[in-house]
Structure 1
C-alpha cells in the first residue's frame, strides 16, 4: 500500500483515463475500479473519478465498461452521502 492512498488513487485514475484514450476500455475499467477501492476517497479523487466516468461514457457509450464504472461511482457517491448524513457533515462548510 502507498504512503499516500489519495495520490495513488489519483495516479490510477489518470492512468485509466489515458488507457480509455488509447482504446483500452477493459484496462481503463480495471485500473479505475482499483482506484475506487482506495481506503481514502476525498474530493480530488472523486473529481478525477468523475473525469474517467465522463471519458468512458463519451468514448464507449452503452458498453459494459462504461456502465460498470458509472454504477460503481454512483454507489460510492451514495455511500459517501449516507456516511455524511449519519455523521452530520452534510451541509457544513
Structure 2
C-alpha cells in the first residue's frame, strides 16, 4: 500500500495505551524519586522529579484529548490518509 505523504496531518494516537503507559511511568518516576532521596542521590532524584513532571503533563494532555471525544480521536472508519487518486492531478489525454 502506498502512502500519500500527509501522515503527520492525519496521524492517530492510541490514547488509552498512552494513558496506561503514562500511569506506569508516573509510578516509576515517583518510586525513583523517593528511592534516590532515601539513598542520598539528589541528582538522580531531581532527574526523576523532572521525569515526573513530564509524565504528569503528558497524562493531563492525554486525558484532555480522550475527553474531547471522537473528533480528536478518529475511529477505524476514518482512513489514516487520503487515497492517492484524490491527490493526483488529472491528466488530459490528447
TM-score range, shorter chain: 0.3 to 0.5
What is the TM-score of this pair, normalised by structure 2?
0.40
Q: Relative CO higher for 1 or 2, CA cutoff 8 Å, sep ≥ 6?
A: 2
Greater gyration radius? 2
TM-score, length of structure 1 as denominator length: 0.40
